[in-house]
Structure 1
Amino acid sequence: MSTSTEITSSKSSIENELAATPIVLTIAGSDSGGGAGIQADIKAISATGGYACSVITALTAQNTQGVTGIYPISGEFVEQQLDAVFSDLNVIGVKVGMLSDSDIIHSVAKKIKQYAPQYLVVDPVMVATSGDLLLQASAIDILKSELLPLADVITPNLPEAAALVGGKVPKNEDEMIAMISELRQLGAKSVLLKGGHLEEDTNSTDLLILSDKVERLSNLRINTRNTHGTGCTLSSAIASYLAQGYKLQDAVSLGKEYITQAIIYADKLNIGKGHGPVNHFYSR
């Protein structure tokens, strides 16, 4: 009898442990090369302690050298995927990445409002590391009006931030700081302005823009060309840490530390002929 009780107790304990795994949904495009998009998101969420599920918004013909084709998924089918995930899984955090047109942005925003996940991280993906355009220009206004105001944090890089506020791409940290007021006006609860494009700087400095203050996060810049998928990876890690219960500032700090380590170890991989991916599972 005691053995049966012990087995039942052990089973219950295992079930509770499994149930505690935070579920994080990534809504993004697929990268056939595996370094960015949905593929990078799933790796980052898994490596940082979450359970990853996904909704694909577009298929890309893509590798480390560039994007040669984009095939958008219909808004209707994106909604079907979202209904399937939310109706069954207890999604705590959502990361949104590539949304290639207005129809898909409408669909995603509608379902986010309907299901109201606890945390929403939006990476306003517009340009790939290779320089290829991933978001139609006509869709930017829809993104700003319908989706960004729902976010706990948005994570634009400097070209994306410039596109969102209709300004010039910052060339130094002072010009990043000058964008703060306009970025706050986008309506998200916070903005992580990423300074990775300031390649001449010794450090890679990001600004976490909150409603009442700005926090500066800086790490030594890593000299590597293998940075494919950095934005996808960082935003997914932040969503994963938020879903695990970390406060926003801690989730962002942990996410930045994770992507820094993934970049440090990127050269241990030998993937492709162009900008290779970061090393998501560097600790293994």
Structure 2
Amino acid sequence: MRIPPRVLTVAGSDSGGGAGIQADLKTMLALGTHGMSVVTAVTAQNSLGVQGAWELPAEAVRAQFRSIVDDIGVQAVKTGMLASPELVRTVARLLAGVDAPVVVDPVGVSKHGDRLLAAEALESVRERLLPTATVATPNLDEVAELTGVKVTDEDGMREAARAILAYGPRWALIKGGHLPGAPVDLLSDGREEHWFRGARHDNRHTHGTGCTLASAIAAHLAKGLDVPQAVGAAKAYVTGAIAAGFPLGAGIGPVDHAWQWG
């Protein structure tokens, strides 16, 4: 009997189903892996924004993680919303004992502009979480918060990658989707550069894009791809999901995680 690769997401719940744990698990299923979850926070969230957020105690996060890793095991881990310094430190300690690739999505603000990471947790992300990452996947706003580097063009993405890599991840994927023009991302380990370019789709329904990309990278790493291959395959999946994004509620709808299934 075939056992699919096992991927763990450590992140917050999105009650609207477009981002967070829900997006992660949908992505993992769509890409042929077995998704598992450690819930770090519960949000009241819909297409209009985040109406409330409640983080779980560190002990609850630790117990979920140990329950999964000690029995089932993992072949890749993805982290998302870690709201407080205590949760960041807790998860970083847990990840240090895992022999599997780790994708860190340093979630700071939701698609709607709602803050999901306390300002006082930034230092813990820099000093404790980023060093555990096989790949860190910040967008340009998160780069600015973590490093002070404000990117306005492609050359600035190189500076951003260097600044993120200085905190210890093996690879940095700088997501340039907020720049004008066609979207471009830069993957770098300080020696190699891989540029990923695509068309910009005329579709405002992009909720969950960052979570989906990070989870897709983790899924492909669990399947045995190297980092540049995993990022390339994940980008192709996310591009299709964005093109198929659909309206939901009165605001910004989600990407379509099942777009490949027609």
Query: Tell me, what secondary structure is at the counterpart of 1:196?
Result: coil
Unaligned runs of 5+ in 2: none
Does residue 41 of structure 2 align to residue 58 of structure 1? yes
Contact 1:120 1:150 survives alignment (8 Å): yes
Does residue 241 of structure 2 align to residue 262 of structure 1? yes
Q: Alpha-carbon deviations, 1:218-252, whole Å to 9, x = none?
A: 00111111010000000000000000001111000
Counterpart position of 2:108: 126
Aligned residues: 261
User: Identity, % of aligned pairs?
Assistant: 43
Query: Tell me, what secondary structure is at the counterpart of 1:220?
Result: coil
1:125-164 superposed matches below 5 A: 125-164=107-146
1:117 aligns with one of 89, 99, 107: 99
Contact 1:29 1:60 survives alignment (8 Å): yes
Counterpart position of 2:88: 105
Distance, in Å, in 1 between the alignment partners of 2:163 and 2:254 is: 32
Distance, in Å, in 2 between the alignment partners of 1:211 and 1:194 is: 16
Distance, in Å, in 1 between the alignment partners of 2:234 and 2:110 is: 20
Distance, in Å, in 2 between the alignment partners of 1:75 and 1:104 is: 6
Counterpart position of 1:70: 53
Query: Tell me, what secondary structure is at the counterpart of 1:91?
Result: coil
Name the Cα RMSD after superposition. Answer: 1.0
Query: Tell me, what secondary structure is at the counterpart of 1:121?
Result: strand
1:79 aligns with one of 56, 62, 65: 62
For 1:45, the aligned partner's letter is M
Does residue 163 of structure 2 align to residue 182 of structure 1? yes
Task: Find the structure with the greater CA-based Rg.
Answer: 1
Q: Alpha-carbon deviations, 1:72-122, whole Å to 9, x = none?
A: 1011110011111111112110000000001111111111123x1311000
2:77 aligns with one of 75, 80, 94: 94
Query: Tell me, what secondary structure is at the counterpart of 2:253?
Result: coil
> Once the 2 structures are TM-superposed, how far is the Cα of residue 190 of structure 1 from its aligned partner?
0.3
Does residue 172 of structure 2 align to residue 195 of structure 1? no
Contact 2:149 2:159 survives alignment (8 Å): no
Following TM superposition, the consecutive aligned residue runs of length 4 or more in structure 1 with deviations greater than 4 angstroms are none
Contact 1:41 1:236 survives alignment (8 Å): yes
* TM-score for the superposition, normalised by structure 1: 0.90
Distance, in Å, in 2 between the alignment partners of 1:279 and 1:261 is: 8
2:249 aligns with one of 263, 272, 280: 272
Contact 1:98 1:135 survives alignment (8 Å): yes
